[in-house]
Amino acid sequence: MPSPRYWREMPQRYRLEASQCTECGKVSFPPRIVCGCGARDFKKTNVSETGTIVSYTTIRVAPDAFVIQAPYNIAIVEADNGVRITTQVVDCAPEELAIGKKVKFVFRKLYEEGHCGIINYGYKAVLV
Amino acid sequence: MREVAVIGIGMTKFGELWTKSLRDIFVEAAMAAIDDAKVDQIGSMYVGSMTPGLFVGQEHIGALMADYLGTPSIPAMRVESACCSGGMAFRAGFFEVASGHTDVVLVGGVEKMNDGADVTYALATAADQEYEVYQGVTFPGLYALIARAHMHAYGTTREQMAAVSVKNHHNGSLNERAQFPREVTVEQVLNATLVADPLTMLECSPVSDGAACAILAPLAIAKKLSMPVIKVIGTGAATDTLALHAREDLTTLKAVKLSAQSAYKMAGVKPTDVSLAEVHDCFSIAEICIVEELGFVEKGKGGPFTEQGHTALDGKIPVNTSGGLKSKGHPVGATGIAQVCEIVEQLRGAAGKRQVKDPKIGIAQNMGGSGASSVVHVFKKE
Ligand SMILES: [Zn+2]
Helices B22-37 and B61-68 cross at an angle (nearest 10°) of 60
Closest among B132, B197, B188 to A60, alpha carbons compared: B197
Q: Which site among A66, A74, A120 would you substitute to test the B interface, given the most B Cβ atoms closer than 10 Å to its Cβ?
A: A74
CA distance B163 to B179: 19
Q: Which of A37, A92, A109 is nearest to B134 (CA)?
A: A109
Q: Report chain B residues touching chain A, CB-CB < 8 A.
A: 118, 120-121, 124, 128, 130-138, 140-141, 144-146, 148-149, 152, 193-199, 243-246, 250
**From CA B131, how far away is CA A47, in angstroms rounded?**
14
Q: Is A69 in the B-facing interface, judged by CB distances under 8 Å?
A: yes
With a CB cutoff of 8 Å and minimum separation 6, the contacts of B178 are B14, B172, B322, B323, B327, B328, B329
What pLDDT, on the 0 to 100 scale, is given for residue B52? 98
CA of B220 to the centre of ligand 1 (A): 50
Cα nearest neighbour of B124 on chain A: A63
Q: Identify the three-state secondary structure at position B34.
A: helix
Task: Give how far Cα B294 sits from Cα of A85, A105, B153, B336, Å.
Answer: 28, 38, 19, 16
Least confident window among A62-66, B186-190, B294-298: A62-66
Of A54, A62, A99, the CB nearest to B136: A62
Residue B259 DSSP one-character state: H
- Hey, CA dihedral for B215, B219, B221, B222, is it positive or negative? positive
Interface touch A54/B149, C-beta < 8 Å: yes
Q: What is the mean pLDDT of residues B41-45?
A: 97
The predicted structure's pLDDT at residue B189: 98
Distance (Å, whole) CA B56 – CA B99 = 35
Residues B333, A113: Cα–Cα separation, whole Å: 29
Candidate list B150, B169, B280, B330, residue with the active-site label:
B330
Domain A48-128: state its class. mainly beta
Active site residue B289: no
Handedness of CA A12, A14, A17, A18 (dihedral sign): positive
Q: How much is the average pLDDT of B20-32? A: 98
> What's the rounded Cα separation, in Å, for the pair B335 and B12?
11
B270 backbone dihedrals φ, ψ, rounded to 5°: -110, 160
Average pLDDT, chain B: 97
Distance between start and end Cα atoms, chain B: 18
* Same-fold call for B4-119+208-222 versus B137-204+233-381: yes
Distance, in angstroms, between A84 CA and closest chain B CA? 6
pLDDT band at B120 (very low <50, low <70, confident <90, very high): confident
- Are residues A7 and A122 in contact, defined by beta-carbon separation less than 8 angstroms? no
B330 is catalytic: yes
Of B120, B136, B250, nearest to A111 by CB-CB distance is: B136
pLDDT in tens, B133-164: 999 999 999 999 999 999 999 999 999 999 99
Q: In what order do the strands lie in the sheet with A27-28?
A: A27-28, A17-21, A42-46
From the list B80, B54, B109, the residue with the least C-alpha distance to A63 is B54
Beta carbons of A66 and B136 less than 8 angstroms apart: yes
Please answer yes or no on whether A55 and B132 come within 8 Å at the CB atom.
no
Q: Which residue has the higher pLDDT, A115 or B217?
A: B217
Task: Say if CB B260 and CB B376 are below 8 A apart.
Answer: yes
CB-defined contacts A:B, below 8 A: 99
pLDDT value, residue B32: 98
CA dihedral B72, B77, B80, B83 (to 10 degrees): -50
Tell me which residue of B76, B136, B113 sits closest to B205, measured CA to CA.
B113
Of B196, B245, B246, the CB nearest to A57: B196
pLDDT, greater one: B40 or A78: A78
Rounded distance, CA B362 to CA B346, Å?
8
Among B115, B119, B117, B177, which residue's Cα sits nearest to residue B337? B177
pLDDT at B242: 98
Q: What is the CATH number of domain B137-204+233-381?
A: 3.40.47.10
Q: Per residue in B66-85, pLDDT tens?
A: 999 999 999 999 999 999 99
Nearest CB to B246 within list A84, A94, A124: A84
Give the model's confidence band at A116: pLDDT under 50 very low, under 70 low, under 90 confident, else very high.
confident
Contact B336, B90 (CB under 8 A): yes
User: Given an 8 Å threshold on Cβ–Cβ distance, is B148 in contact with A56?
Assistant: yes
Main-chain dihedrals φ then ψ at residue B196, nearest 5 degrees: -145, 115
Q: Does A95 touch chain B (CB under 8 A)?
A: no
CA distance B35 to B10: 8
Q: What is the mean pLDDT of residues B353-357?
A: 97
* Neighbouring C-beta atoms of residue B278, cutoff 10 Å: 29
Round to whole Å and give the CA distance between B334 and B339.
9
Percent of all residues in chain A with a pLDDT value above 70, rounded to a whole number: 100
Neighbours of B350 (CB within 10 A): 12
Are B197 and A99 within 8 A, CB to CB?
no
The DSSP code for B229 is P
CA of A20 to the centre of ligand 1 (A): 8
Delimit the domains of chain A by residue range. Answer: 12-46, 48-128
Of A55, A65, A124, the CB nearest to B148: A55
| Chain A CA closest to residue B249 | A54
Q: For residue A62, what pLDDT is reported?
A: 93
Looking at residue B129, what is its pLDDT?
A: 95
> For residue range B255-313, what is the model confidence (pLDDT) as tens digits?
999 999 999 999 999 999 999 999 999 999 999 999 999 999 999 999 999 999 999 99
For chain B, the domains span: 4-119+208-222, 137-204+233-381
Q: pLDDT confidence of B121, banded at 50, 70, 90?
A: confident
Query: Per the CB < 8 Å rule, is A57 touching B144?
Result: yes
- Give percent of chain B above pLDDT 90: 98
- For residue B36, the SS3 value is helix
How far, rounded to the nearest angstrom, does the alpha carbon of residue B88 sit from its chain's CA centroid?
Answer: 10
Q: Which helix (H) or strand (E) holds B25?
A: helix B22-37
Task: With beta carbons less than 8 A apart as the criterion, state whether B85 and B79 touch.
Answer: yes
The residue type found at B91 is R
Q: Tell me: the pLDDT tens digits for A39-59?
A: 999 999 999 999 999 999 999
Question: Which chain A residue lies closest to B135 (C-alpha atoms)?
Answer: A87
Q: Within 10 Å of residue B160's Cβ, how many Cβ atoms?
A: 23
Residue B118 has pLDDT above 90, yes or no: no
Helices (H), ranges, B193-237: 219-223
Q: For B185, phi and psi rounded to 5 degrees?
A: -105, 165
CATH architecture, range B4-119+208-222: 3-Layer(aba) Sandwich (3.40)
Residue A99 has pLDDT above 90, yes or no: yes
Percentage of chain A exceeding pLDDT 90:
88
Cis? peptide before B181, omega within 30° of 0: no
What single-letter DSSP state applies at residue B281? -
Q: What is the pTM (predicted TM-score) of this model?
A: 0.97
Q: Specify the pLDDT at position A1.
A: 73
Please say if the pLDDT value at position A113 is more than 90: no
Cβ-defined contact of A99 to B195 (cutoff 8 Å)? no
What is the CA(B150)–ligand 1 centre distance, in A? 29
Provide mean pLDDT across the span B88-114: 98
At B116, the pLDDT band (50, 70, 90 cuts) reads confident
